Structure 1
Amino acid sequence: MNAHPLFPQMTRRRLLVSALLGAGCMSLPLEAAWALEGTRGGAANLAMIGEPQSLDPMATPTDLVGTVMQHVYEPLYTFDAQWNIQPMLAEAMPAISDDGKVYSIALRRGVKFHNGKDMGADDVVASLRRWMEVSARGKAVGQVVAGIAAKGPLAVEIQLKTLYAPLLAHLAMPSGMAGVMPKESIASPLTEIVGTGPYRLKERKPDQYTVLARFDQYAARSEPASGYAGKREALLDELRFVPVPNATTRLEGVLAGQFHYADLLQVESMGRLDKAGPAVVPILTKNFGFPYIVFNTKEGVLASQAMRQAVQTAMGEAEMLQAGFGDKRFFIAEPNFFPKGTPYYSDAGADLYNQKNPKLAKEQAAKAGYKAEPVRIMVSRQYEFHYNMALVMAEHLKRAGFKTDLMVVDWATLVQRRNDPKLWDVYVTHSGQFPEPMLSPPQLGDGAPGWWDTDAKKAALAAFNSEPDVTKRGPLWGKVQELVYHEVPFVEVGRFNGLSARSASLQGYTPAIWPFFWNTSLAAR
């Protein structure tokens, strides 16, 4: 095994560890990852669930791409630790007209792109226009945007066709990000990866690593760090994102000291982590997100609403969560999409959750004209809980008389294939739990895989999105939730906590849905 020129030669012990860990880790740097100084320098080895499908922050809504590229690109707004929206590249929160349809945004002065150019209003306008053309999230926002224009070198104005309460939340999302890039770099696909973030792209070798290096001209905000908001400082010289699709390999790597961080581990790993001693720290991220099952409403056996209702009747979400997470500390089976105490808690449609009624499901399928066509369930084992839930779902469907075809692919393939309605009937995924309902799942918008598009959906979402008062939006969300249970574009299985792990030497890390590594450092060896 030859060391990469960026990385010094491994010691014999670490070579043996690497060999034991197997494929996918063989080019990983080791010794250089330790900082000689405790607060600045060194490189962190970060084991991720796979290879990012793209380095274009707008091209896909997947969490993996958002996690990596949020270090390179930045949006106008972001979220603080309490999920409040805060300015990032914007100077402050926008001035909003009395009718709520015009947002005037002042931009920060002195923000530099990685190519040395100062960010200006023309760059922001060009970036937002591209976002509305390329990103599924941006396309949904674009339907309510009447125009975007520069109003001076550091001022942008967004005009809306109608009131749209989720606008700033969409602009703040790391996944499918409305990241700002130099207008001259804009292309489809991107050929230059140039942002404003604390790290810049240094090197990428597909299926081996993506290396980000500190951007020395980064213009940090002055406010204290809070969640994704406030001051971001690149204390580490490099971030090395390594695709490690096997969760057990990620676990063994962090236990062996090969990785400073291992993302999304299996729940069963908690026992090993508890016994690992002080060198490895388990990370339990509460209310991390929700798994959900997307249905193809456009083509195939489940294009019929009645057929989707039959499948929903057959499913037992509680058993699926048990299979996916095992330990009840890691999941909760509830029909409400948002927990009690939040503005969007609702029990609408609760009687259709966790039915697990194969007899009724079989009757419903027969009335819908089911002719024993296989239900194609697409899933990836890179998220092991997706796969385990899919196995249980398939069994539930078989008990109700459905034929099933479990199609197991890698995550990158799933993301690609889900865009073709001829290739699948169901796929398994998950989302982070966000404070704004329109942020996820993307099926609430337009054009996302699943292609849910009905008059009832349009009416319910129009009423919800045009109401800025959160106390009034709550009941309106209940109507949307009830519609999801009735039309079944997707099934939200429940909620879960996330498990990851870090080396104790990785300091300053804050648990987050999209892990970030600015403001982190490595302890002196």
Structure 2
Amino acid sequence: MMSVKFDRVAVFGAFKVGAALSLASLISLPASAQTITAVMQSGLRVMDPVVSTAFMTRDHGYMIYDTLLGINEKFEIKPQMAEKWEVSTDQKTYTFILREGLKWHDGAPVTSEDCVASIKRWSEKDSTGQVLMTMVSEIKVVDGKSFQVILKEPTTLLLESLAKLSSRPAFIMPKRIADTPSSEPIKEYVGSGPFKFVDSEFKPGLKVVYEKNKDYVPRSDAASWTAGGKVVNVDRVQWLAMPDQMTPVNALINGEIDYIQQVPFDLLPMLENKSDINVEVLDKLGSWTYFRFNHLHPPFDNKLVRQAAMNAVGQEDVLKTLVGNPKYSRTCPSVFGCDTPYADAYGQDVVVPSNIEKAKELLKEAKYDGTPVVVLHPTDIAMLSAQPVVIASALRKAGFKVDLKTMDWQTVVTQQGNQKPASEGGWNIFSTYSTLATSGDPFGNTTVASNGKKAWAGWPDVPEIEKLRLDFARATDPAERKKITAQIQKLAIDEGVVAPLGQFSVPAAYSKKLTGVLPSPVTLFWNIKKAEK
């Protein structure tokens, strides 16, 4: 395995003055405003949570939008914008009633028309929503505060879809914004959530500012994941992006910032013994990392070539480079995560060890002609920069011709949707990761959707998987659902729909001035209080 090491101290020394100036210019603290300054995993450029599945876009969505339903740490579905829902005796008609006091950030009331338009736009893009809509007969407004979803057949998928955490939560937007075609990004960022987006201070890729929505009426129950009362206790939250990971670590130690969303594993010792800093894994279930093929163009339109690549890349090599500490990582072949209800070991011999000789045999059988493989390599996020390097090294050993294309993560996010061949600016492989809390079934897990160009980036076309996902939505027996997910696991590995690279947990770090930081699979800033000293 190719080893890439960085002297972070030297890097920091070289950029110390410039970084300090950059930090000073980014941090803005209005007089008397209590502000949380957080350094996030990357900069925010893609703002539409329907267009993108990126975590930064999702996290931005949770700041300014709200959802009809939430989900708590016990995986229970709870009402959020909805006061309640009622179900007909035949289990086919769901009536949702909005709670009082819901307002858009521009002061207009939230209506059922807004909800219907938002659900329709979301369902056009989201892999869960697409399946759900095949089971929906009609969505209609009843009055200003209630609407109905009429199903063709009973299914639990409706509530599960509207409460999903990621990657595309069903955020509710004003109808005028939700009427934007799902093929186009929205251009106005007005929600009804606990924070307001401050457009005048937005610096794409560098800084985002949110202020408390004083008109927001939280639920009365305790906050848990995306359910319960979203009580905002500070005036402002500002997100900063700092590609050099040493800069935010030093800024946190010096009290210049309050929160680091993800601490690189090799920098943890700098923070772990600081008396005024908490280092904590907030997502207790952790994440899984994986890579995706572009199924539309050579060479990965050939299943044998995809199998060759999966055999070449070893999980231990990836995890050693990415994490380095077995305390925070483990190998796992399951596309639904290990230690989950739908965990499955099928494909362990393919995706866990690196088998270069097997990969060479498969490439020979596939008659690989040396078509270059473009691997997208984000360099600004510690949790994403190692995987492409290891993948590229393994592929080269197996006989692939590889072009490792460096860029920042937000450029990768915008590039993901490019369906052109690599020779025309497209891509062949990219890697990322997802939270296990949102990946444990065939609908929360975006990667297994396999409906061709309607699928998530990579665009696998495996009709058998789509049929099984629909079967899963109809099934109510846990044993039957387990049988279905085992079949999906086999197809996902055999067809190269997604290639698991192992599991890991990422610590966050924050000043002890902050209290009420919520353990959650998504980064949340409500419930947090900040002491002045």
**How far apart are the structure 2 equivalents of 1:23 and 1:468?**
58
Q: CA deviation at 1:30?
A: 6.0
Q: Which amino acid aligns with 1:439?
A: G
Match of 2:446 in 1: 441
CA RMSD of aligned residues (A): 2.3
SS in 1 for 2:316: helix
From the superposition, tell whether residues 53 and 355 of structure 1 become closer, same or farther in structure 2 (CA, over 3 Å): same
**How far apart are the structure 2 equivalents of 1:216 and 1:162?**
41
TM-score, normalised to structure 2, is 0.88
1:94-493 residue pairs with structure 2 within 5 A? Answer: 94-97=85-88, 100-135=91-126, 138-172=129-163, 173=165, 175-188=167-180, 189-203=185-199, 204-275=202-273, 277-285=274-282, 286-338=284-336, 342-421=340-419, 422=421, 423-434=426-437, 435-444=440-449, 446=451, 447=454, 448-493=456-501
SS in 1 for 2:289: strand
Q: Which amino acid aligns with 2:170?
A: A
Q: Which amino acid aligns with 1:469?
A: D
Q: CA deviation at 1:306?
A: 1.1
1:289-308 deviation per Cα after TM superposition (whole angstroms, max 9, x unaligned): 11110111111211111110
Q: CA deviation at 1:479?
A: 0.9
Q: Which amino acid aligns with 2:97?
A: A
Q: CA deviation at 1:468?
A: 2.8
| Residue 89 (structure 2) pairs with residue 89 (structure 1) | no
| Residue 67 (structure 2) pairs with residue 75 (structure 1) | yes
Q: Which amino acid aligns with 2:280?
A: I
Residue correspondences, number: 501
Q: Which amino acid aligns with 1:490?
A: V
From the superposition, tell whether residues 163 and 475 of structure 1 become closer, same or farther in structure 2 (CA, over 3 Å): same
**How far apart are the structure 2 equivalents of 1:137 and 1:289?**
20
Aligned identity (percent) is 26
Q: CA deviation at 1:162?
A: 4.7
Q: Which amino acid aligns with 2:275?
A: P
**How far apart are the structure 2 equivalents of 1:234 and 1:88?**
16
SS in 1 for 2:412: helix
Native 8 Å contact 2:34 2:234 kept in 1: yes
TM-score, normalised to structure 1, is 0.89
| Residue 502 (structure 2) pairs with residue 497 (structure 1) | no
Q: Which moved more, 1:369-378 or 1:465-474?
A: 465-474
1:490-517 deviation per Cα after TM superposition (whole angstroms, max 9, x unaligned): 1111111012211111111113222111
SS in 2 for 1:133: helix
Q: CA deviation at 1:243?
A: 2.0
**How far apart are the structure 2 equivalents of 1:522 and 1:481?**
45
**How far apart are the structure 2 equivalents of 1:420 and 1:381?**
20
Listed as ranges, the gaps of 5+ residues in structure 2 are 1-14
33, 43, 48: which is aligned to 2:40?
48
Q: Which amino acid aligns with 1:433?
A: L
Q: Which amino acid aligns with 1:522?
A: K
Native 8 Å contact 2:450 2:462 kept in 1: no
Native 8 Å contact 2:119 2:170 kept in 1: yes
From the superposition, tell whether residues 440 and 338 of structure 1 become closer, same or farther in structure 2 (CA, over 3 Å): closer
From the superposition, tell whether residues 197 and 478 of structure 1 become closer, same or farther in structure 2 (CA, over 3 Å): same
Match of 1:517 in 2: 525
Native 8 Å contact 1:296 1:489 kept in 2: no
Q: CA deviation at 1:161?
A: 4.1
Q: Deviating runs (4+, > 6 A) in structure 1?
A: none
**How far apart are the structure 2 equivalents of 1:126 and 1:333?**
42
Match of 1:9 in 2: none
**How far apart are the structure 2 equivalents of 1:61 and 1:402?**
29
**How far apart are the structure 2 equivalents of 1:273 and 1:141?**
45
Native 8 Å contact 1:68 1:241 kept in 2: no
**How far apart are the structure 2 equivalents of 1:347 and 1:268?**
30
Q: CA deviation at 1:361?
A: 1.1
Listed as ranges, the gaps of 5+ residues in structure 1 are 1-16
Q: CA deviation at 1:265?
A: 1.8
